[in-house]
C-alpha cells in the first residue's frame, strides 16, 4: 500500500468556487476509485486558490480481482435424465472456451440455471492511475469555464501544472498540453518557484516549508486567532462574519495580518458605510469600540510579516481614498431630503406591468395598513411614514455605489433627518430576511413593512404572469415568499395571509390580463410546504393534510401539524383516520350539501348526529384559543359513531332523497375535520391512499 | 521613478518580450481595449503581440480632482499577447519587478474579476491585480470580441499607470505624483480635470450629444454597408464615448441605458464580422490556394 498525491496547479481560482470544486474532486476520486475496485484507507482534499490537492492514504497497489458469472441454459435443458450435459450445455461451454465440468448450477428467481464463473486478475495500480486520474479531473465542473490555449480544455482558470506521486513514483500522465510529474511551486513570495518532490510525505513537508498553508480550515483558524490577538492589543472588537473569514482565508496561501488605521475624520460617516467600504471592496476586517465604530481595520496580506510597513501604508492609502469617495457620496446624498427622493420615485420603473417604484410604495402603504388591522400596531402613523420613505434610498448615490446597503442607508439617513427611531428602524429592517437563512426583522414596524413589501412583490409579479422556475426567478419571488412565511411563523402573528391577499386584491385590478389571486395563495402554499418540511422537519403526509385545509394563518398551520405529529402513533388516531377516510372518499365528487335530521332513519344516524353536535360545540372555542390537540381529541370521539354509521347505514341507497341527505350529512362531518386538515392524506397502516381510492370507486 | 519614466520602463520591458509598440488611438475612448490594435488584433488566427499607452476617459469616474485617486482622464498601459504564453502571470509579475517593485515586500494579489465590455461585445475571465490593497491592473483572458468566440485566446494586461507610480513614489494622492523632475501630475492635469468634470456632469449639452449619437450611429451603419470596417469602427467608438457622456449626465434610465448599449454592440459586432470577412479574403492565397 502506498499513498497518492495529485496536485492540480491552477492560476488563481475565484475563492467563492473553491469549496465546491474541492467537494467535486473528492467525490469524483471516490467514484473513479470505486469503479476501478481500488481500496484505500482514507481520502481527503485540500486546496488553496492556486492548487487543488487530492490525497489518498493507503491506496492498494493492485486492483482487486474480479469475479464474473456468465449465465447459461436452464438446468433442465442442460442435463439429461442421467445427469449428462446436453448439446445445449456443451454448446454454451464451447462458446465460452470452458469444459462442461466447470458448469455450476444456481437457483435464480426464474429457476435453476447453469453458470460459468470467470475470474480476472486485478491490474497494478500504477498502471490504472494514469488512465483514471484524467477522468477525475474531467469530472470537475466549475460554475464558469474558460479556454486558454488550443488544447480544447476548459476550466475555471488555466491549469498550469500537475504533480502526481504514488509513493515516491511520479505518474506521468498527459492532460491537455501538460504532463504530470514531481514538480510543484511554493508560495509566490515565500517559496521557491520550482520544487522537486521526492514522495508523498515530502510533498506536504515541502509545501509547508515553502510557505503554503494547504488546509483551508487551518488558514481560517490562523485568521481568527490573529484577529483575537489584535483585538486584545487594541481593545476593540473585530466585525467579521464567518463568510468574510472564509473568503479571506480562501483568497491567499499564507495569511498574515496587517493592522491599519484611517483618519478619525471619517468616523462621522454612518458605521454601516464604514464597514461596507472596508469589507465589500477590500475584504478588510473593521473593528468596533463597543457600539461605536473605530478607525482600526485589519487586512490580511498573502505572505510574511510586513517588516517595513510597506503593506500597511498601502492599505491605509487605499482605505483613505475609498472613504473619501464614500464621504463624497454621503455629502451629495445629504443635500436632498428623503421625502424629496421618495417623490422622485415616480420616474423609476419598478416592473414594466407594475408601474413605478412610487406606485409600489403606494401599494405597500395600503398593504401595511391592512396587515396592521389584522395584527395590531402600536404606532400607525410611524408605520405609514416608514412605508412612505422605505424605498427613497434607491435614488441615493450611496446605494448606487453599495447596493447591499439598501434599507440600511435609508434608515441611517432617516435618523439623521430626525425621523422617529421606529421609522428609521422599520426602513432599515424592511428588506429582511434577504436570504433563506438571513436574520428576521426585530421591530414591529420592520416586520409589518417587510411583509407588505414582499407581499406586493408576490401578488404583483404572480398576478401579472411571472412564474418562477427552479433556475429562473428574476424578481426573487421564492425569496419573498419564504421571507413572508418565516416572519409569519416566527412572530406568531395573528396574520391570515390568504384573507389579507383577498382583501388586497383590488389594489391589482390595473394589471392587464391579470391572473386570479389564487395563484398567489397556491405559490405561498407550496413554499410553506417546503419550509415546514425542511426547516421544521414535519412529515410530508402531515403537511399534505394540513395544507389541504387552506388556512392562511401559517403559525396555526404549523401548530396543527405539530399536534398531528404528536398523536399520529396512537392506535385511536389510526382508526380515526380510517373512519374519516371512508367519509371523505364517499362524499368526494358528490354535490350534496346540507341535511335535515328528520330524514334520519337509522339509530346509527341519530347517534352520529348527536356526537357531531356535541363535538362541534366543543371544537369552536378550542379552535379559537389554538388548542389543536384538544380539537383532535374531540374528533377522536367521533370515531366509533362513524364506524357504526358505516356498518349500519347504506349511504348510497336507491332512494334519492335519503341518499342526498346522507351524503350532505357526511359532508358536514368532513368539514368539521377540515378545521385540522384532510386526515385521509396521512399514511397509517390499513388505510393507504390506494385503498381509499378503491372505496371511492366501489360506491360510484 | 517619475511617471514618464514608468511609461518608458513598461515600453522597454514589453518591447523586450517581442511586443510591437503601437501609439495611442486619436479618439476619446474609455479604455485601451477600444484601440483597433486590440479590437481587431485579437480577432482571427494571426499571432499578435502589441503594447501601447492609451489615454482613457471615463466621465462618470470624475470627482472634480477632489479624490486622491479617482479621475475621469488617465493613462492606461495596454498589452495584448496572442496566443497566451503559459508563463503569462510570471511575465506580468516580472514587469512589476522591472519597475522596481519588490514582490517580497509588497502584497501582490490576483483577485477574481471577470471582465465584460458590453459595447464591444467583449467578455473575458481573469483578475484585477491588487498591490497592497490597490487595484493596479486588469488581467483578462479574452474569450469573445465583437460577440465572436476567439481562437486563439488573447490575454489583455491593462496597467493603471498612475496608481503604480503612486505606490513607487509613496504618495497618497495622484495629484502629487512627479511627472518629471520639474512637474507634478496635479500641475499638469488638475485644472483640466476640474473643467472636464464640470463639462461631463453639468455643462454637456444632452440634446446635442444625443443627436450626435444618432448621427454617428447612422454613419457607422452606412460605412458597414460599404464594407469599410475600420472607419465604421471609429464611428462606433465615438458613439461609445457619447453614451458615456449621457450616462454621466444621468440622462438615461436603466432600460434606456440597456438599449443604448445594445445599439453600440450591434455596430461593433458588425465591424468584427466585416473585418473577418475581408481579412479572410486577403489571406485567401495562404489558406486556400485557388
Both B103 and B164 in one domain: the answer is yes
If one compares A80 and B284, the residue with the highest pLDDT of the two is A80
What whole-number distance in Å separates Cα of residue A529 and Cα of residue A526?
Answer: 5
Domain membership flag for residue A519: yes
Per-residue pLDDT at A389: 96
Using 50, 70 and 90 to split pLDDT, how confident is the model at A474? confident
Per-residue pLDDT at B287: 38
Both A402 and A506 in one domain: the answer is yes
Helix (H) or strand (E) run with residue A106 in it: strand A104-108
Please identify, among A209, A239, A274, the residue that sits at the C-terminal boundary of a domain. Answer: A209
Which pTM was predicted? 0.78
CATH for A489: 1.10.3210
Beta-carbon neighbour count of residue A585 at 10 Å? Answer: 22
Residues of B with CB under 8 A from a CB of A: 63, 66-70, 83-84, 86, 89-90, 93, 103-112, 114, 124-125, 127, 131-134, 141, 143, 151-153, 166-167, 170, 172, 253-255
Please identify, among B162, B186, B201, the residue that sits at the C-terminal boundary of a domain. Answer: B201
Both A305 and A360 in one domain: the answer is no
* pLDDT(B92) > 90: yes
| B63, B69, B167 member nearest A328 (Cβ) | B63
* pLDDT(A693) > 50: no
Using 50, 70 and 90 to split pLDDT, how confident is the model at B252? confident
Domain membership flag for residue A340: no
| A156, A315, A320 member nearest B132 (Cβ) | A315
Q: Helices marked H in A402-496 — which ranges?
A: 408-416, 421-429, 444-463, 477-490
Domain membership flag for residue A569: yes
Using 50, 70 and 90 to split pLDDT, how confident is the model at A700? very low
Both B87 and B188 in one domain: the answer is yes
Q: Which residues of B touch A146 (CB under 8 A)?
A: 124-125, 141, 143, 153
**pLDDT (tens digit, 9 = 90+) per residue, B29-45?**
999 999 999 999 999 99
**Rg of the Cα atoms in chain A:** 35
- CB–CB of A315 and B133 under 8 A? yes
A332, closest residue in chain B (CA to CA): B63
CATH for B211: 1.20.58.180
Please identify, among A537, A560, A583, the residue that sits at the C-terminal boundary of a domain. Answer: A537
* pLDDT(A466) > 90: no
Both B135 and B41 in one domain: the answer is yes
Both B104 and B145 in one domain: the answer is yes
Beta-carbon neighbour count of residue A621 at 10 Å? Answer: 11
Q: Three cell numbers at A128? A: 490504472
Q: What are the φ/ψ torsions at residue A262 (nearest 5 degrees)?
A: -110, 170
Please identify, among A120, A135, A150, the residue that sits at the C-terminal boundary of a domain. Answer: A120
Both A194 and A248 in one domain: the answer is no
Q: How far is CA A256 from the centre of its chain?
A: 34
Domain membership flag for residue B79: yes
Per-residue pLDDT at B7: 98
Domain membership flag for residue B96: yes
Both B101 and B196 in one domain: the answer is yes
Domain membership flag for residue B166: yes
Both A579 and A672 in one domain: the answer is yes
The beta strands (E) that lie in A274-399 are given as: 285-289, 292-302, 349-351, 355-356
Residue A512's closest CA among A462, A457, A463, A459?
A463
Q: What is the least distance, in Å, from the CA of B130 to any CA of chain A? A: 10
* pLDDT(A352) > 90: no
* pLDDT(A34) > 50: yes
Per-residue pLDDT at A692: 40
* pLDDT(A478) > 90: yes
Domain membership flag for residue A178: yes
DSSP string of A250-273, one letter each residue: HT-SSEEEEEEE--GGGGGS-HHH
* pLDDT(A14) > 60: yes
Both B97 and B191 in one domain: the answer is yes
**pLDDT (tens digit, 9 = 90+) per residue, B256-283?**
788 899 999 999 999 999 999 998 866 4
Query: In the predicted model, what is the mean pLDDT of chain A?
Result: 91
Per-residue pLDDT at A471: 76
Using 50, 70 and 90 to split pLDDT, how confident is the model at B290? very low
Both B235 and B196 in one domain: the answer is no
Beta-carbon neighbour count of residue B80 at 10 Å? Answer: 26
- CB–CB of A148 and B153 under 8 A? yes
Most B CBs within 10 A among A146, A325, A352, hence the mutation to make, goes to A146
Degrees to nearest 5, angle at CA A111 with A106 and A112? 35
Residue A178's closest CA among A241, A216, A125, A133?
A133
Domain membership flag for residue A485: yes
Using 50, 70 and 90 to split pLDDT, how confident is the model at A494? confident
Both A477 and A495 in one domain: the answer is yes
Strand ordering across the sheet containing A292-302: A237-238, A285-289, A292-302, A255-261
Both A241 and A367 in one domain: the answer is no
Both A112 and A58 in one domain: the answer is no
Using 50, 70 and 90 to split pLDDT, how confident is the model at A698? very low
Q: Helices marked H in A73-198 — which ranges?
A: 75-78, 87-95, 125-138
Both B34 and B129 in one domain: the answer is yes
Range of the domain at A287: 216-334
Pairs of CB atoms within 8 A across A/B:
115
| B68, B86, B141 member nearest A160 (Cβ) | B86
Domain membership flag for residue A344: no
Both B169 and B249 in one domain: the answer is no
Q: What is the least distance, in Å, from the CA of A282 to any CA of chain B? A: 7
Using 50, 70 and 90 to split pLDDT, how confident is the model at B255? low
Domain membership flag for residue A533: yes
Please identify, among B201, B226, B253, the residue that sits at the C-terminal boundary of a domain. Answer: B201
Both B76 and B136 in one domain: the answer is yes
Within an 8 Å CB–CB cutoff, is residue A14 touching chain B?
yes
**pLDDT (tens digit, 9 = 90+) per residue, A238-270?**
999 999 999 999 999 999 999 999 999 999 999
Per-residue pLDDT at A689: 45
| Residue A251 CA: distances (Å) to CA of A254, A318, A378, B92 | 9, 19, 48, 20
**pLDDT (tens digit, 9 = 90+) per residue, A576-632?**
898 899 888 888 877 777 888 888 888 998 999 999 999 999 999 998 888 999 999
Q: What is the least distance, in Å, from the CA of B30 to any CA of chain A? A: 20
Range of the domain at B218: 204-284
Per-residue pLDDT at A376: 87
What whole-number distance in Å separates Cα of residue A573 and Cα of residue A430?
Answer: 43
Count Cα atoms within 13 angstroms, Cβ side, for B202. Answer: 8
Both A86 and A159 in one domain: the answer is no
* pLDDT(A687) > 60: no
Both B99 and B57 in one domain: the answer is yes
Count of domains forming chain B: 2
Using 50, 70 and 90 to split pLDDT, how confident is the model at A691? very low
Please identify, among B156, B183, B201, the residue that sits at the C-terminal boundary of a domain. Answer: B201
Within an 8 Å CB–CB cutoff, is residue A82 touching chain B?
no
Domain membership flag for residue A53: yes
* pLDDT(A195) > 90: yes
**pLDDT (tens digit, 9 = 90+) per residue, A653-678?**
888 888 889 999 999 999 999 999 99
* pLDDT(A688) > 50: no
Count of domains forming chain A: 5
Domain membership flag for residue B267: yes
Domain membership flag for residue B290: no
What whole-number distance in Å separates Cα of residue A601 and Cα of residue A596?
Answer: 11
Both A115 and A132 in one domain: the answer is no
Using 50, 70 and 90 to split pLDDT, how confident is the model at A309? very high
Using 50, 70 and 90 to split pLDDT, how confident is the model at A696? very low
Per-residue pLDDT at B281: 62
Both A55 and A90 in one domain: the answer is no
Per-residue pLDDT at A585: 86
* Percent of residues, chain A, with pLDDT higher than 90: 66
Within an 8 Å CB–CB cutoff, is residue A12 touching chain B?
yes
- State the complex-level ipTM: 0.93
Q: Three cell numbers at A576? A: 380515526
Amino acid at each position: 500500500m502506498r499513498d497518492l498525491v495529485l496536485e492540480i496547479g491552477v492560476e488563481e481560482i475565484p475563492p467563492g468556487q473553491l469549496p465546491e470544486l474541492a467537494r467535486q474532486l473528492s467525490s469524483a476520486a471516490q467514484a473513479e476509485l470505486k469503479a476501478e475496485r481500488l481500496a484505500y484507507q482514507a481520502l481527503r482534499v485540500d486546496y488553496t486558490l492556486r492548487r487543488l490537492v487530492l490525497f489518498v492514504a493507503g491506496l492498494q497497489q493492485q486492483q482487486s480481482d474480479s469475479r464474473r458469472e456468465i449465465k447459461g441454459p436452464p438446468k433442465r435443458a442442460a442435463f439429461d435424465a442421467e445427469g449428462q450435459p446436453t448439446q445445449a450445455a456443451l454448446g454454451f461451454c464451447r462458446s465460452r472456451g470452458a469444459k462442461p465440468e466447470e458448469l455450476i448450477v444456481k437457483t435464480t428467481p426464474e429457476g435453476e440455471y447453469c453458470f460459468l464463473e470467470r475470474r480476472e486478475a486485478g491490474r497494478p495500480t500504477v498502471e490504472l492511475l494514469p488512465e483514471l486520474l484524467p477522468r477525475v479531473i474531467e469530472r470537475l465542473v466549475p460554475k464558469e469555464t474558460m479556454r486558454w490555449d488550443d488544447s480544447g480544455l476548459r476550466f475555471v482558470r488555466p491549469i498550469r501544472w500537475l504533480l502526481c506521486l504514488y509513493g515516491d513514483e511520479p505518474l506521468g500522465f498527459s492532460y491537455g498540453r501538460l504532463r504530470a510529474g514531481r514538480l510543484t511551486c511554493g508560495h509566490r513570495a515565500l517559496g521557491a518557484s520550482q520544487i522537486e518532490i521526492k514522495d508523498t510525505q515530502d510533498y506536504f513537508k515541502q509545501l509547508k516549508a515553502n510557505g503554503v498553508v494547504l488546509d483551508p480550515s487551518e488558514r481560517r483558524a490562523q485568521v481568527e486567532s490573529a484577529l483575537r490577538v489584535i483585538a486584545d492589543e487594541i481593545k476593540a472588537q473585530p466585525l467579521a462574519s464567518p463568510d468574510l473569514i472564509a473568503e479571506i482565508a480562501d483568497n491567499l496561501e499564507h495569511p498574515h495580518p496587517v493592522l491599519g488605521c484611517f483618519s478619525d475624520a471619517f468616523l462621522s460617516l454612518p458605521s454601516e458605510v464604514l464597514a461596507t467600504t472596508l469589507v465589500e471592496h477590500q475584504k478588510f476586517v473593521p473593528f468596533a469600540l463597543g457600539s461605536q465604530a473605530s478607525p482600526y481595520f485589519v487586512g490580511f496580506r498573502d505572505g510574511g510579516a510586513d517588516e517595513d510597513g510597506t503593506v500597511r501604508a498601502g492599505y491605509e492609502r487605499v482605505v483613505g481614498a475609498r472613504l473619501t469617495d464614500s464621504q463624497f457620496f454621503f455629502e451629495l446624498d445629504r443635500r436632498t431630503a428623503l421625502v424629496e427622493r421618495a417623490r422622485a420615485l415616480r420616474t423609476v420603473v419598478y416592473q414594466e406591468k407594475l408601474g413605478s417604484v412610487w406606485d409600489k410604495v403606494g401599494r405597500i402603504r395600503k398593504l401595511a395598513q391592512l396587515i396592521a388591522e389584522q395584527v395590531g400596531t402600536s404606532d400607525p402613523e410611524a408605520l405609514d411614514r416608514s412605508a412612505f420613505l422605505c424605498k427613497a434610498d434607491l435614488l441615493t448615490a450611496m446605494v448606487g455605489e453599495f447596493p447591499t446597503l439598501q434599507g440600511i442607508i435609508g434608515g441611517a439617513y432617516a435618523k439623521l433627518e430626525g425621523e422617529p427611531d421606529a421609522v428609521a428602524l422599520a426602513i432599515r429592517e424592511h428588506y429582511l430576511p434577504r436570504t433563506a437563512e438571513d436574520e428576521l426583522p426585530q421591530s414591529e414596524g420592520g416586520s409589518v413593512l417587510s411583509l407588505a413589501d414582499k407581499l406586493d412583490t408576490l401578488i404583483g409579479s404572480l398576478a401579472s404572469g411571472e412564474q418562477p422556475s427552479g433556475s429562473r426567478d428574476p424578481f426573487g419571488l421564492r425569496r419573498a415568499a419564504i421571507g413572508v412565511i418565516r416572519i409569519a411563523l416566527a412572530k406568531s402573528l395573528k396574520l391570515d395571509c390568504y384573507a389579507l391577499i383577498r382583501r388586497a386584491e383590488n389594489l391589482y385590478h390595473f394589471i392587464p390580463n391579470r391572473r386570479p389571486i389564487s395563484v398567489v395563495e397556491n405559490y405561498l402554499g407550496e413554499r410553506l410546504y417546503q419550509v415546514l418540511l425542511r426547516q421544521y422537519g414535519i412529515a410530508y403526509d402531515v403537511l399534505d393534510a394540513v395544507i389541504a385545509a387552506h388556512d392562511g394563518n401559517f403559525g396555526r398551520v404549523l401548530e396543527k401539524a405539530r399536534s398531528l405529529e404528536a398523536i399520529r402513533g396512537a392506535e385511536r388516531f389510526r382508526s380515526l383516520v380510517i373512519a374519516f377516510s371512508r367519509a371523505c372518499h364517499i362524499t368526494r365528487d358528490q354535490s350534496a350539501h346540507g341535511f335535515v335530521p328528520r330524514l334520519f332513519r337509522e339509530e346509527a344516524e341519530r347517534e352520529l348526529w348527536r356526537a357531531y353536535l356535541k363535538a362541534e360545540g366543543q371544537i369552536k372555542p378550542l379552535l379559537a384559543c389554538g388548542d389543536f390537540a384538544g380539537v383532535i381529541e374531540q374528533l377522536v370521539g367521533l370515531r366509533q359513531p362513524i364506524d357504526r354509521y358505516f356498518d349500519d347505514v347504506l349511504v348510497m341507497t336507491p332512494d334519492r332523497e335519503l341518499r342526498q341527505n346522507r351524503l350532505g350529512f357526511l359532508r358536514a362531518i368532513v368539514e368539521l375535520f377540515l378545521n385540522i386538515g384532510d386526515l385521509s392524506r396521512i399514511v397509517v397502516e390499513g388505510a393507504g391512499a390506494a385503498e381509499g381510492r378503491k372505496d371511492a370507486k366501489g360506491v360510484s | 521613478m517619475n511617471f514618464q519614466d514608468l511609461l518608458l520602463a513598461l515600453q522597454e520591458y514589453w518591447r523586450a518580450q517581442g511586443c510591437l509598440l503601437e501609439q495611442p488611438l486619436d479618439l476619446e475612448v474609455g479604455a485601451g481595449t477600444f484601440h483597433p490594435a486590440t479590437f481587431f488584433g485579437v480577432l482571427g488566427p494571426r499571432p499578435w503581440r502589441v503594447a501601447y499607452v492609451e489615454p482613457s476617459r471615463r466621465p462618470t469616474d470624475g470627482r472634480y480632482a477632489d479624490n486622491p485617486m479617482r479621475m475621469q482622464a488617465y493613462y492606461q498601459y495596454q498589452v495584448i499577447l496572442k496566443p497566451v504564453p503559459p508563463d503569462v502571470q510570471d511575465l506580468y509579475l516580472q514587469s512589476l519587478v522591472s519597475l522596481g517593485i519588490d514582490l517580497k515586500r509588497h502584497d501582490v494579489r490576483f483577485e477574481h474579476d471577470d471582465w465584460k465590455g458590453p459595447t464591444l461585445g467583449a467578455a473575458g475571465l481573469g483578475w484585477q491585480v491588487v498591490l497592497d490593497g490597490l487595484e493596479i491592473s486588469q488581467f483578462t483572458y479574452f474569450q469573445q470580441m465583437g460577440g465572436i468566440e476567439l481562437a486563439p485566446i488573447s490575454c489583455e494586461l491593462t496597467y493603471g499607470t498612475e496608481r503604480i507610480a503612486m505606490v513607487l513614489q509613496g504618495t497618497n494622492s495622484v495629484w502629487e505624483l512627479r511627472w518629471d523632475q520639474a512637474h507634478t501630475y496635479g500641475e499638469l492635469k488638475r485644472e483640466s480635470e476640474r473643467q472636464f468634470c464640470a463639462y461631463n456632469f453639468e455643462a454637456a449639452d444632452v440634446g446635442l450629444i444625443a443627436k450626435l449619437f444618432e448621427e454617428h450611429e447612422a454613419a457607422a451603419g452606412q460605412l458597414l454597408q460599404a464594407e469599410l470596417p475600420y472607419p465604421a469602427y471609429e464611428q462606433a467608438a465615438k458613439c461609445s464615448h457619447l453614451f458615456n457622456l449621457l450616462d454621466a449626465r444621468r440622462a438615461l434610465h436603466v432600460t434606456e441605458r440597456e438599449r443604448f448599449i445594445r445599439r453600440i454592440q450591434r455596430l461593433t459586432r458588425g465591424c468584427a464580422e466585416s473585418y473577418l470577412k475581408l481579412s479572410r479574403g486577403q489571406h485567401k492565397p495562404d489558406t486556400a490556394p485557388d
